[in-house]
Structure 1
């Protein structure tokens, strides 16, 4: 199965007030680009999807499992499925996230 999405065909969405773009959907994974604004708020939440990310730009504080991690350009992370987490946007920017399995609530 091929799934090629040209940037002009990417699907714009919003979840919890955060703008993002669905870049690609495979059989078991989904790639998104989060477009964080400095006014966005991502409260503690959990989902059945493992989430791994790459910070393109901006600065963030990722909180999970009782720890806080400051992230900036070039940093990566992985959050296990069903683990409560939140993100504080310190400086607006973009993050690529990969979810497995596909997040049905992002479709």
Structure 2
């Protein structure tokens, strides 16, 4: 169990840092309702996303893709991305380097 707090990031969306090191961070995002949004954004970190549960439509740059439990993908540094929850679930994201703004 993580010692980090659960932080609301949007309507029906929370995030919790699971572990961190200056070179790497693991974060869980929980989407509790269909239609919940992970707002479009970008950051200098390379991100990998693993879909632990649920179903999501991701925007990655100028492309869209639907992902579900067991899928994973990498988002390059600086790429605009976001998602819409199609079925409640959890995403596990890894960032390199660590997202200091999440601490």
Unaligned segments of structure 1, at least 5 residues: 1-6
Unaligned segments of structure 2, at least 5 residues: none
Residue number in structure 2 paired with 1:91: 87
Match of 1:77 among 58, 64, 73: 73
Is residue 13–residue 21 contact of structure 1 (8 Å, CA) maintained in 2?
yes
What per-residue deviation string (whole Å, max 9, x for no partner) do you get for residues 1-43 of structure 1?
A: xxxxxx0534322334531111000130100111112252222
Structure 1 distance, partners of 2:99, 2:3, is 19
Answer yes or no: is 1:15 the counterpart of 2:9: yes
> With structure 2 as the length reference, what TM-score do the two structures score?
0.88
Structure 1 distance, partners of 2:61, 2:15, is 25
Is residue 51–residue 91 contact of structure 2 (8 Å, CA) maintained in 1?
yes
Larger Rg: 1
What's the Cα RMSD here? 1.5
Structure 1 distance, partners of 2:69, 2:6, is 23
Is residue 13–residue 22 contact of structure 1 (8 Å, CA) maintained in 2?
no
Residue number in structure 2 paired with 1:31: 26
Count of aligned pairs: 101
